[in-house]
Amino acid sequence: MKLPYAEPYKIKMVESIKRSTPEQRKKWIKEAHYNLFNLSSDKVYIDLLTDSGTGAMSDKQWGALMEADESYAGSQSFLKLKETVQKITGFKYFLPTHQGRAAENVLFSVLVKEGDIVPGNSHFDTTKGHIEFRKATAIDCTIDEAFDTENMHPFKGNIDLKKLQKVFDENPVEKIPFVIITITNNSSGGQPVSMENVKAVSKICKKNKVPLLFDSARFAENAYFVKMREKGYQKKSIKEIAKKMFSFGDGMTMSSKKDGLVNMGGFIALNDEEIFKKATVFNIMYEGFITYGGMSGRDMAALAVGLDEATEFDYLESRIKQVTYLGNKLIEYNVPVQHPIGGHAIFIDANKFVPTIPRDEYRAQALAIELYIIGGIRGVEIGTVLADRDPFTRKNRYPELELVRLAIPRRTYTHNHMEYIAAVLKNIYDSRAEAKSGYRIIDEAPIMRHFTVKFEKI
Ligand SMILES: *Cc1c(COP(=O)(O)O)cnc(C)c1O
């Protein structure tokens, strides 16, 4: 018999989670104006809102917390982290920030001006927010295969080189401050980008003398997929693959709350000294002195260990196989999910699941609410609500995909939780014909509305 995979760790401490009934949850979600971000966490049984900062640290990371150095300047924990970042990414310069969007804020303050154009592969919402806030435009150059949830392309995060070339052909190069590749491509389903694609994008960037940046939140998961799916990398270690990928770029922003295996933190890493110097000024203004940048010494210490653990094959295999296990269970139950299963989350295709709910009634949001009421499971809408309004016309932008994302926190839930989630979804799927109407927005913020938007039931 072929042996199944099993986790390369055992549990040393447990945290209780509260169960509740559908009747209680119906009342709670109404009080939260049907926005899952508004729920207090004790009203959630299994929290799949995000895999950001929700993972479990290892005993080694907790140990590192105790030994950390809280000096304002020149902290030993900073030096340790800097050394680890340089070892893993190969970039020369390093600036800690309090999380990923802070890294974007600092770096884009240097690089992005009004009227600029930033091509990339489905920019993450905070990335797009920081571009649009500066009155610049993010252009999505992701390959078309990414928008077909049945397509089995192994690297659906890839950039379409023709689309990218078109951006360069149609715009003065001074208007393009950089190209940004998100690894893995979060917004289009946790889908990886191939080494070959990065190499080709880097070539276009070099030809035009435009820097290539990585939005690296899940770079280790991306490296795992390269190892498993791309020819020539089977024998390479995750660390070798990650470093090679970064070698094609000029810098990166990082949300350490993902593949840093910590609950808070971020950083910028760069090769260009001039950009680094300018960024330090913004770092000091927005984040803190350059040897802590919004992080405690203990957080930096835990991150140094976390980055090392996150780039080990055994950890990544158990992480990604748990996500795949849930995905395969759902496929077995005929629930429409995005294929192939991505690295950090399952994406349920709401266009296929509840086509009976009109798009302007936020069908993916409606499905996410149902999942909460029936199972106490908190996912998140990745569809029209998240896509927000066009900054110029103020009309809803309807993305090609209406998804509900179930993000799996790292090293946190067990196989039984996966079984439970799959069963809840099967039950909802079996009664989907009854779903006819969704929700209407009654209040929203001018930018990044999904965090605070209020709905009422139609
Ligand atoms: C989470 C994330 C960010 C933003 O990072 P925060 O730490 O949440 O501020 C940026 N890009 C991607 C791809 C992310 O997943």
DSSP labels for 402-419?
-EEEEE--TTTS-HHHHH
On whether residue 96 sits in a domain, the answer given is: yes
On whether residue 14 sits in a domain, the answer given is: no
User: What's the rounded Cα separation, in Å, for the pair 202 and 179?
Assistant: 9
Least confident of 3-7, 31-35, 102-106, 319-323: 3-7
Percent of the chain with pLDDT over 90: 91
DSSP reduced 3-state for 31: helix
pLDDT of residue 448: 82
Question: Best of 50, 97, 98, 101 to mutate for ligand 1, by most ligand atoms within 8 A of CB?
Answer: 101
pLDDT at 17 over 90: yes
Annotated catalytic residue 443: no
pLDDT of residue 433: 83
On whether residue 33 sits in a domain, the answer given is: yes
The 10s digit of each residue's pLDDT in 235-254 is: 999 999 999 999 999 999 99
pTM, two decimals, is 0.93
* Cα 319 to ligand 1 centroid, rounded to whole Å: 19
Name every residue whose Cβ is closer than 8 Å to that of residue 32 and which is 6 or more positions away in sequence: 38, 39
pLDDT of residue 121: 96
Question: Average pLDDT for residues 150-155, to the nearest whole number?
Answer: 92
Is the domain of 317 the same as that of 305? no
Is the domain of 375 the same as that of 275? no
pLDDT at 434 over 80: yes
Is the domain of 321 the same as that of 449? yes
Is the domain of 44 the same as that of 122? no
Question: Average pLDDT for residues 444-452, to the nearest whole number?
Answer: 89
Catalytic residue among 258, 329, 344, 417: 258
Q: Whose CA is nearest to atom 14 of ligand 1?
A: 217
**pLDDT averaged over every residue in the chain:** 96
Is the domain of 332 the same as that of 445? yes
Instruction: Evaluate: CB of 255 within 6 angstroms of ligand 1.
Output: yes
Q: Whose CA is nearest to atom 15 of ligand 1?
A: 217
Is the domain of 259 the same as that of 385? no
Is the domain of 195 the same as that of 283? yes
Looking at the structure of the chain, the number of domains it has is: 2
* Cα 1 to ligand 1 centroid, rounded to whole Å: 41
pLDDT of residue 190: 86
pLDDT band at 401 (very low <50, low <70, confident <90, very high): confident
pLDDT of residue 186: 77
Q: Copy the structure tokens of residue 116.
A: 């600029």
DSSP reduced 3-state for 150: coil
Is the domain of 104 the same as that of 221? yes
pLDDT band at 290 (very low <50, low <70, confident <90, very high): very high
Question: Average pLDDT for residues 121-133, to the nearest whole number?
Answer: 93
On whether residue 5 sits in a domain, the answer given is: no
Is the domain of 318 the same as that of 176? no
Annotated catalytic residue 353: no
Is the domain of 285 the same as that of 332? no
pLDDT at 187 over 80: no
Annotated catalytic residue 144: no
Q: Whose CA is nearest to atom 5 of ligand 1?
A: 100
On whether residue 98 sits in a domain, the answer given is: yes
* Cα 432 to ligand 1 centroid, rounded to whole Å: 33
pLDDT of residue 150: 87
Kindly provide the b/e burial profile for residues 334-362, where b requires at least 16 CB atoms within 10 angstroms of the residue's own CB.
ebbbbbbbbbbbbbbbbbebbeebebebb
On whether residue 409 sits in a domain, the answer given is: yes
pLDDT at 374 over 90: yes
Final residue of a structural domain among 248, 280, 310: 310
For residue 415, what is the domain's CATH number? 3.90.1150.10
Final residue of a structural domain among 253, 276, 310: 310
pLDDT of residue 391: 82
Query: What backbone torsions phi and psi does residue 402 show, to the nearest 5 degrees?
Result: -115, 110
Question: Average pLDDT for residues 440-448, to the nearest whole number?
Answer: 91
The 10s digit of each residue's pLDDT in 301-353 is: 999 999 999 999 999 999 999 999 999 999 999 999 989 998 999 999 999 99
pLDDT at 385 over 90: yes
On whether residue 210 sits in a domain, the answer given is: yes
State the sign of the Cα–Cα–Cα–Cα dihedral 20, 21, 26, 27. Answer: negative
Is the domain of 198 the same as that of 265? yes
- 206 compared with 392, residue with greater pLDDT: 206
Task: Round the CA-based radius of gyration of the chain to a whole number and report it.
Answer: 21
On whether residue 122 sits in a domain, the answer given is: yes
Is the domain of 79 the same as that of 166? yes
Measured from the Cβ of residue 130, the count of other Cβ atoms closer than 10 Å reads 25
Question: Best of 49, 97, 215 to mutate for ligand 1, by most ligand atoms within 8 A of CB?
Answer: 215
Tell me whether residue 79 is exposed, middle or buried, using C-beta atoms within 10 angstroms of its C-beta: 0 to 12, 13 to 18, 19 or more: middle
Question: Best of 99, 104, 126 to mutate for ligand 1, by most ligand atoms within 8 A of CB?
Answer: 126
Final residue of a structural domain among 310, 343, 359: 310
* Cα 126 to ligand 1 centroid, rounded to whole Å: 7
Kindly provide the b/e burial profile for residues 94-115, where b requires at least 16 CB atoms within 10 angstroms of the residue's own CB.
bbbbbbbbbbbbbbbbbbbeee
User: What's the rounded Cα separation, in Å, for the pair 410 and 365?
Assistant: 24
pLDDT of residue 334: 97
Domain residue limits at 438? 22-51+313-457
Catalytic residue among 108, 124, 248, 372: 124
For residue 129, what is the domain's CATH number? 3.40.640.10
